[in-house]
Structure 1
Amino acid sequence: MWSLGENGAAPSEQDDSWVGCAKATRAFDKEMVGSLRGDMDTLLVFASLFSAVVTAFVIESYPGLSGTSSADSSAALIQLLLLREPERTATIAASSSAASTSSIWINGLWFSSLVLSLNTVLGAVLVKQWLGEYELVTCSTTRASPREQVALRQLTFDSFGRWRVATIAEYLPVQLICALFLFFAGLVWLVWTLNAVVAIVTSALVGISTLFFLSTTLLPSFFDLCALCSPQSWLCFYLSRRIRRIF
């Protein structure tokens, strides 16, 4: 039997359709928001831990940017060699300059990595805030009629897509991947200034990781129905299509 609706009248079949539509869209929005929020939570944990790791390395390496202590010791060594072995003075000065250049590059890579990882944290926090506002509008129970709820939800959903919120959330991990490889580059550069054996092992491991990443990124552009699709692989695919159109 029909239950009485507004104004004491039995609800029409059209009203039931709007109720069903409102329930379906609310369920869809809850699932979408929950999935994106879970991804952002995972990204926040990893980005925060990675930022802490990079910060530990930066704390140890950034004093080399000033070069005060190394410059003083180099000057003293050069003065001593001028008295004993003048021919070695140029060699010591050159090696001191090379070390300063390495320190600049290593710190530049690590500081860039730290900034990108912190930007990822910032982006994830912003996305969680946007999701909260979206959920507040689309998933909360209001006194509006089902038809009005569906209309309001559609306006919000269209705005959500127009401003590329899901796309921003999708490409935040790519920024963190860039930060990771910048850290790898600085790490390899550092170990090559310390020990050749350790540098070879570290470079080999980083090279394997880089090769695996590049392979899984590029393969979807050359094979149909490849299961290795990712945001960065789609980006490479779109870029390859643009290049093919140009040439």
Structure 2
Amino acid sequence: MSAEEKPEFENPEDFIWDTYLKGSKDEDEARPKNWEGSTTGILTFTGLFAATVAAFIVESYKLLSSDSGERTNVLLEQLFVAMANASSQQPIIAPPPDSFSASTSVILTNVFWFSSLIIALVCALLSTLVQEWSRNYVQDINRRKVLHESLRERAYNHIYIRMGVNRYGMDQFVSWIVALVHLSVFLFACGLLLFLFPFNQVVAGISTAVLASFVTVYCVASLVPLLDKSCPYRTPISYMI
């Protein structure tokens, strides 16, 4: 049979189903690769990012409670005073413990950092689920109910699987995970600025300027594709608006 001759089918309509299956083969291979490529990058990034956030949290959560070392110094000072006044037989009145209340900036810093860490871990978990769903998608697309399944039945199964993926927004789900990763980074940056301001205004101011410049670039990259469809710079916000 020459290259220009068409294959013979038992049923005339099989030619249509065969053309459909061959035409969708490239997309069937590219779609799960895109899902796995995106989620693999997310897993790598969230692993490193979560470790970084956790290192900052180890130091910041201590500011939510009173310093036990400082309290010990106060008690020792009271003990020395009591020993010095022991000969005078004066009653020793222990002062009430100082009430402790964490500052608003400390509370917000920990809220931002803990939220950032939780979101990063959730993104990692969702990425592993997407990779599992991607493998299931490939298996379902290529699965045959029986060995001699007709082209029509295979095409119907393929359409059924594709409709489910489109109906439940698998592609959009992956984009949402990327958006959550970006949100996690933004929350960490906000917490970092709040953490720096009480210590050094200059460092905090410069860090704020750097963050503001990147936020501006991010917003521009998100909005320009809405005005110019040929713009290659896009963010998850571009797909959601």
Question: TM class by shorter-chain length?
Answer: 0.7 to 0.9
Q: Is the 8 A contact 1:61 1:103 kept in 2?
A: yes
| Aligned equivalent of 1:202, options 199, 207, 211 | 207
Aligned to 1:148: 153
Change (3 A) 1:217 1:147: same
Q: Choose the corresponding residue for 1:183, options 163, 188, 194.
A: 188
Residues in 2 aligned to 1:205 and 1:10: alpha-carbon distance in whole angstroms:
65
Is 1:123–1:172's contact at 8 Å kept on the other side of the alignment? Answer: yes
SS in 2 for 1:62: helix
| Separation in structure 2 between the aligned mates of residue 74 and residue 192 of structure 1, nearest angstrom | 28
Pick one of 115, 126, 130 that aligns with 1:127. 130
Query: What are the superposed Cα offsets for residues 202-243 of structure 1, whole Å, 9 maximum, x if unpaired?
Result: 11111111121122223344x2435134330243x3xxxxxx
The residue correspondences of 1:26-45 to structure 2 (distance < 5 A) are 26-45=25-44
Q: Aligned match of 2:217 in 212, 217, 222?
A: 212
TM-score (norm 1): 0.75
| Matched pairs, number | 214
Aligned mates of 2:214, 2:68 — CA distance in 1: 36
Superposition CA RMSD, Å: 3.0
Unaligned stretches of 5+ residues in structure 1: 3-8, 80-92, 238-247
Greater relative contact order structure (CA < 8 Å, 6+ sep): 2
Q: Which residue of 2 aligns with 1:46?
A: 45
Alignment CA distance shift 1:229-1:37 (3 Å): same
Distance 2:42 2:36 in 1: 10
Q: In structure 2, list runs of 5 or more residues that go unmatched.
A: 3-7, 79-97
**TM-score normalised to the size of structure 2?**
0.77
2:9 and 2:15 in contact (8 A); partners too = no
Q: Considering fraction of residues, name the structure with more helix.
A: 1
Query: Could you tell me the percent identity over the aligned residues?
Result: 27
